Amino acid sequence: MKEMLKQYRGWKFEKKDLERRLREEEKRIEEHKSNCRKYRASLERTERKIDDSLEQVEEYLSTIDDSIARAIIRLRYVDGLSWNDVAARIGSILPDTCRKIASRYIDG
């Protein structure tokens, strides 16, 4: 018991120090959670904006009455094909003609 009594004050100090450290760590964890929530909210806002933009493009494409023009624009801008590849997919149209058709619809 004598050894325990000698360490009593040290243990009391150590216990308070550990409690303080735990409080500090909990505070850091809460700050981190808050930052994570803010980051997640930012990502979700960005995702909604992208979804809105994608929907606008799809709606625009659906307004193009000319099926060849619509296909050209979709192949080039949605699928990311080169003008040469667009022309090859459409067939019997030169790449420059594809570009001009797309430009006429996009630029108005």
Q: Are residues 17 and 2 in the same domain?
A: yes
Per-residue pLDDT reduced to its tens digit, 75-102: 999 999 999 999 999 999 999 999 999 9
Q: Are residues 55 and 88 in the same domain?
A: no
Q: Are residues 39 and 90 in the same domain?
A: no
DSSP per residue, 31-63:
HHHHHHHHHHHHHHHHHHHHHHHHHHHHHHHHH
Domain that holds residue 93: 65-108
Question: How many structural domains comprise the chain?
Answer: 2
Q: Are residues 11 and 24 in the same domain?
A: yes
Instruction: Read off φ and ψ for residue 94, nearest 5 degrees.
Output: -75, 155
At residue 108 the predicted structure's pLDDT band, cuts being 50, 70 and 90, is confident
pLDDT the model gives residue 5: 80
Per-residue pLDDT reduced to its tens digit, 3-59: 888 888 998 999 999 999 999 999 999 999 999 999 999 999 999 999 999 999 999
Q: What angle do CA 22, 28, 29 make, to 5 degrees?
A: 85
Q: Which residue shows structure tokens 């019997």?
A: 92
